[in-house]
Every structure is written in structure tokens, then in C-alpha cells.
Structure 1
């Protein structure tokens, strides 16, 4: 789907600027160009689609259903499952997070999606199956979905809506006003399209700086941090290697499909598979670049709480993996 962006990044960095493809600088710049273009495009498309959804679907009824009916936690499971079948990294999941919040979906349910979406996707599952077998793949997918389900449930019980940023609260007010206006005027899609487009571009413009900074950090780590560094310190199998793997992964940034081959290298060099998977989960779902992006929609306190809960569940998952595999 995004091959043309990769081809453009290769052409720009390796042909036009004549930077060696095997150099640290070449890898970092190629990563930066590719991910910046891809994520900005996804940001606009996703926010635009969510704008259409907000304009047409009875979001208020859905919100009331989720908040007033007893679903025995299934709303968190369904949000987590939806996250698993959407091929988004942590950065491109943020606009959907904004769209869900704007639509009035409970914050805990939205967190379930945000946690699972970068952790599990069909490409990573296919690669995981080929590299580690069906048992490891089933455990990986199941744990990713359960991580989102229980993580979202726990965060939802904390009632953290007041820790969203003022920018998101303003979007919520604007969204409410727009939905009221749409219902009163019964506008056609063509009449609504300019406002939806302007709203989508406004959101993209509001988070663009955070996207560029986040990808820049990730590109630097991607190009300059060698795989051998992690394999050296994580291969002992001691209990503390799982928490250490999660801590080392925080500055990293990659999607699940991109990090799976690295995990294979880790395992081949003696890193326990549970420790390696914990590293992968922390890389794709818990990173400084992601925190940079989330700063636009969450206060520091909310980011800290979110990271603490996800960190705890990833570490527990790592221990579970090592025990079962």
C-alpha cells in the first residue's frame, strides 16, 4: 500500500542525496522520510473518515449504549479486537484515539483500542507464524488483545477524562456543536464535505509538529542503536531481563511488522522469547515518540498513568511468555 512512499524515500535519500544505504545516517533519514509521509497521509485520511462518521452515525446513541448498558466488559474486548485488526502503528493510532474521544466513546474503551492497535496486526501475525510457530503466535495475539481489554478496563475505572488536554476538550465542544448543526440543518454530504475537510486538516496541523518530533526521535534510534547492544544485555534469562527489556525499548520506535525480524535476531542470539516479545510490545506500544505525540491530547499525568499501566501488563506478559514458551 505504501510502496510508493518507500520508493520515494529510497530515491530521495540514496539517489538524490547520494547517502549510503548501509550507513547509520542513510537508515535514519530514510526511516524519517518514509514514516513522516506515511503517517501524515494516514493522519489526514483517518481523521477525515472519523469526521464523516461523527457527522452521520448516531454517536450519541452509541455512547449512551456503551455507558448505560451492562456489557460485562465486552465493550473493552471489542475495542481491543478492533485495534488488533487495524494495521496502524502507535503514531497513526492517535488520530483514531482523537476521533473516538470526539465521538463520545468512553475513555477506557478508547484506551483498549489505543493499547492493542500497534501491538497486533495481520502482517506481524503472518511473520510471527512463519518465524516462531503457531503456539507462540497464538499466545502473542491472545495476550495482545487481553492486554488492551484489561488495560482499558483498568484505565476506565480510574475516571481520567479530566486529564485530557484543553485542546481535546475544545474539540469535544466543537464536535458537539457541529453535530447539533448537522442534525438541525440536515445538510447533504457535499455540503458537509468542506467543513469536514477543514476540521480534518485543522487536527492534522495541530499535531504535525509532534508527529515530526516523534518520528525524528524514532529515526535516530532506528539508525544508530545496534541490535547487538540489546542482545548482549538481555540474553542471560534472569528475572530482571524482562523489565530491562521494556525499559530499553521505551526510546525505540517501530511498528510490529518492522520489529519482528529484529526479535528473531534476538532469539537467535540467545534472548528468551518472552523477553524478546516484551521488548517488541514495549517498542510498538510504549515509546518516547508515542508519548511525544500523545502530549497533544493528554496531560503529563495522564500519559504517566497510561504508560505505567501498559508497562505493568507488558512485563507480566513477558514473564508469562517465558513460562509457557
Structure 2
């Protein structure tokens, strides 16, 4: 129903007001941009609003106790699952990472959260499910959680606490009281959180949707299918490396992913590109440099990058 409404509205706008034919490249690009922007904006806003309300029922102390109540791999799983329903980009995950270290949560468990949080979130899952279907969205989410669990466990086994800046351990949360929300305060908070996050993400969404629209309308299908198709063995690692300099969130990169897949790029190659763009971005590495030392950053990038490449090959194999 929504697709029918947007198709009709944007078609009338482009043909009736702008005077462009939907059969032309410019008209096709304009339609793709408007359709993707409206769909993603509504789904993103709805997802953030609902989850923000749910977050008002959960405090950092409750999260800490919840994670600590599980031992071994269960604690890593819980941290990764919590990462799915927390911040919406890699850079916003770093302050939470610091808070968990302060709270005394084991390093490996905290990294399970840090890895999963940017890769998978509820809004991205909703958008993925709408565009690609529930199977792709579910496999993507499970893959992100698995990377987080295994990556966190490996970092924990390597005993790399010495590479966390010492001042982090000296910081204390005592005396800081978290806001308790009641009644209408929850709605007010959720509305403010939705506005703040959407406004923050709009520039990245515009860039992502713009790139997707350009690929959709102008990049030759044969070119991308030749070099990015699932039969090209090197496509997955190359896509992973190319994505690292980018800074976006999962919702902003999805339009690019959709355009790549429609042009013949392997779904695994596209998923690897998505995951690397949101989990291994240079801005996140610069933020992490303030709290952890280079050997741990290199280990983090190596583990997550390897996991992403493995997931890319898996997607290409089963798709």
C-alpha cells in the first residue's frame, strides 16, 4: 500500500510538476531518490520512536546487572543483542563503550556490544526487511550478532585490557543519577530522541540515497555485475576495504546497497560493503584512539574485518 501511494505521488510530481518523463534517466533518478528518501525517513523515524520509548524502561545499571547475570558466551550474546537495540551509528556507540568499561564489565563482553551496535539496529532491520524481505534482514542481523559474539570472545581471550587507556579505569559513575521517566515524559523523550537522531542522520541519508540514485540511473549494469558479481572472488574483500573510509549508519547505506544489488552486484559483496561502512569507519577509529591503544584497534579491525568478509562470502554462496 505504501509503495503504491509513494509511486503515485512521486510519479505525478515528477511528470506533472517537474515535467520529466519517468522513462528518462533524470526522471528515473529523481523518482528513485524521492521514493527511497520518503520510505527510509518514515521507517527510520518510526523505528527510533518505538525503541526510544522502550529505552526509558531500561537503565545502565539494569543493563550491567543483566549482562553480569550471565557468564561465558551467554554474556557476549547478551551484550551483542543489547547492541542491536542501542545507538544508531558507530561513533555514538563509543561513549556507551566507555560507560561499560567504567562499570567493570569484562573487555571482551564490551567489545561484543561495540561490534554489533553499529552493524545491526532495529531501524536498519525494519528497512532491510521492507526492501529485501525478512530472510535477508534476519540473516544480516544474525550475522552481525555472530560477528559481535565471536569477536568479543576472541578479544577477551587475548587479554588485551592493558591496551585500554588507564584513565578510563579511574573514572567512576558514583553520584551520577540516571533520569527516571514516567507517563508522558516517555513520549516527550522519544519524540526529542527521534528528532535529534533523524536530523543528525539526514545529511548521511541524502548522500547515501544520492549515491544510490546515481548508481541506479547512470552506472552500467554490465560494469558492476562484472566486477562486483558473486563470481568475482576478490569482490568481497575489495568492497570491505572500499567501505572503510566512508562514514554512515546502516539506514543511510541501505539505499546504496539496494542500487548495487539491482545492478548485479552480489548480495554478499553488498552486505560486506554495508557492514564495513558502519562498523569500521575512520571516524569511529579516531574516537576509539582516545580510549584504546593501537594494538587493540588493529586487533579489533582485523577480527571484525575478517568476520565481515566471511559473511560476505557466505551471503554470495547461499544467495
**C-alpha distance after superposition, 1:107-148 (max 9, x if no partner):** 100000100101111111111112111221111111111111
CA distance in structure 1 between the partners assigned to 2:137 and 2:178 by the alignment:
43
SS in 1 for 2:310: helix
CA offset at residue 70 of structure 1? 7.3
Task: Return closer, same or farther for 1:313/1:189 CA change in 2, 3 Å cut-off.
Answer: closer
> Is 1:170 aligned with 2:167?
yes
Corresponding residue number in structure 1 for 2:78:
78
> Is 1:269 aligned with 2:274?
no
SS in 1 for 2:169: helix
Corresponding residue number in structure 1 for 2:92:
92
**C-alpha distance after superposition, 1:7-28 (max 9, x if no partner):** xxxxxxxxxxxxxxx9xxxxxx
CA distance in structure 1 between the partners assigned to 2:124 and 2:136 by the alignment:
12
CA contact (8 A) 2:276 2:308 kept: yes
CA distance in structure 2 between the partners assigned to 1:300 and 1:58 by the alignment:
28
Corresponding residue number in structure 2 for 1:143:
143
CA contact (8 A) 1:273 1:322 kept: yes
CA distance in structure 1 between the partners assigned to 2:238 and 2:82 by the alignment:
30
Residue 243 of structure 1, aligned match among 237, 241, 256: 237
CA distance in structure 1 between the partners assigned to 2:115 and 2:287 by the alignment:
14
Corresponding residue number in structure 2 for 1:102:
102
With the length of structure 2 as denominator, give the TM-score of the two structures. 0.64
CA distance in structure 2 between the partners assigned to 1:259 and 1:249 by the alignment:
10
> Is 1:120 aligned with 2:120?
yes
> Is 1:132 aligned with 2:132?
yes
CA offset at residue 86 of structure 1? 1.7
SS in 1 for 2:171: helix
CA contact (8 A) 2:254 2:274 kept: yes
CA contact (8 A) 1:87 1:122 kept: no
CA offset at residue 53 of structure 1? 4.5
With the length of structure 1 as denominator, give the TM-score of the two structures. 0.63
CA contact (8 A) 1:84 1:117 kept: yes
**Stretches of structure 1 lacking an aligned partner (at least 5 in a row):** 1-21, 23-48, 191-214
Task: Return closer, same or farther for 1:294/1:132 CA change in 2, 3 Å cut-off.
Answer: same
CA distance in structure 2 between the partners assigned to 1:264 and 1:189 by the alignment:
40
> Is 1:296 aligned with 2:272?
no
Corresponding residue number in structure 1 for 2:300:
306
Corresponding residue number in structure 2 for 1:8:
none
**C-alpha distance after superposition, 1:175-216 (max 9, x if no partner):** 1xx63xx5xxxx9989xxxxxxxxxxxxxxxxxxxxxxxx9x
CA offset at residue 77 of structure 1? 0.2
